[in-house]
Amino acid sequence: MRIPRLYQNCPLAAGATIELDETAVRHGIQVLRLKPDDMVILFNGDGHDYQARLIAISKKQATARIENAIAADNESPLPTHLALGIAKGERMDYALQKAVELGINRLTPLVTERCVVQLDEKREQKRRQHWQGVIRGACEQSGRARLPQLDDVMRYTDFLELPLPGQRMILDPRSNQTLSQCTRPQQLILMIGPEGGFTQPERELAYQHNALGIRLGPRILRTETAVVAGLTAAQTLWGDLDRATF
């Protein structure tokens, strides 16, 4: 049986005894039905997995003793920053989940011309908290011990003005260039539009900021499909999807 992984936003160290947070208790105890003496793996984003044993459980509390720490070595060798036009509810969640599984280390949600999701300050804060939960859950599931950075929601034009390291690549169905025709970037900044994609003026503005236009095959892909296809192609070409593991 696979040992459950639980995120904890606190310092962790071998030999320490900690109280699991509310989210971990709800998932580990109420959903997974873990019992005293069961093993769990805790992580806090510092690059280590902490093997721990549950030593006390009640309806709303759980205590674990950390037995050892193991450095996790499963981050992609291709630093990848995904800049994604905000899509509707489940589509956005799916895109974020799969992007984390495929190894991104930074995400910027973008407000573009064709975004149908409108967020005021209160809704933006709630959505960001929700997206952070999606990212944590994807790290738990995929075995990642480092959480990708989640930026604040940003307007597309402001994002292009950021002095970011790396090569911007924008998905453009009119481009004749594919990822395999590009030189491997030291850092990849992959820009994907919301439902309806980027407008032509947005694409032209990206090119003015030295972005490369990339086409993913002859068909038009949904936002969430484009995220999976684009990142899979990049990780296969330049990352670690074809890396042997022993």
157 and 233 co-located in one domain:
yes
104 and 14 co-located in one domain:
no
**Overall number of domains in the chain:** 2
Rg of the Cα atoms in the chain: 20
Which range marks the domain in which residue 222 is found?
Answer: 80-238
Residue 200: inside a domain: yes
pLDDT reading at 246 higher than 50: no
Could you read off the pLDDT of 78-129 as tens digits, one per residue? 999 999 999 998 999 999 999 999 999 999 999 999 998 888 888 889 999 9
Q: What angle do CA 138, 234, 219 make, to 5 degrees?
A: 95
Residue 137: inside a domain: yes
Residue 243: inside a domain: no
Could you read off the pLDDT of 28-72 as tens digits, one per residue? 888 889 999 999 999 999 999 999 999 999 888 999 999 999 999
89 and 67 co-located in one domain:
no
pLDDT of residue 1: 63
Model confidence, pTM: 0.92
CA pair distance 13, 50, nearest whole angstrom = 7
17 and 123 co-located in one domain:
no
Mean pLDDT (the chain) is 94
**Terminal alpha carbon distance of the chain:** 20
Question: Among the three residues 50, 71, 92, which one is the final residue of a domain in this structure?
Answer: 71
Mean pLDDT of 165-184: 95
Contacts of 53 (CB under 8 A, 6+ apart): 37, 38, 39, 40, 64, 65, 67
- List beta partners, residue 7: 43
Residue 59: inside a domain: yes
Residue 38: inside a domain: yes
Question: Among the three residues 71, 103, 123, which one is the final residue of a domain in this structure?
Answer: 71
Could you read off the pLDDT of 143-152 as tens digits, one per residue? 999 999 999 9
CA pair distance 41, 144, nearest whole angstrom = 11
Residue whose entry in the numeric block shows the structure tokens 């030999």: 15
124 and 89 co-located in one domain:
yes
> Predicted confidence band at 200 (pLDDT cuts at 50, 70, 90)?
very high
Residue 246: inside a domain: no
Residue 232: inside a domain: yes
Residue 46: inside a domain: yes
Tokens in use for 244? 């042997």
pLDDT reading at 222 higher than 60: yes
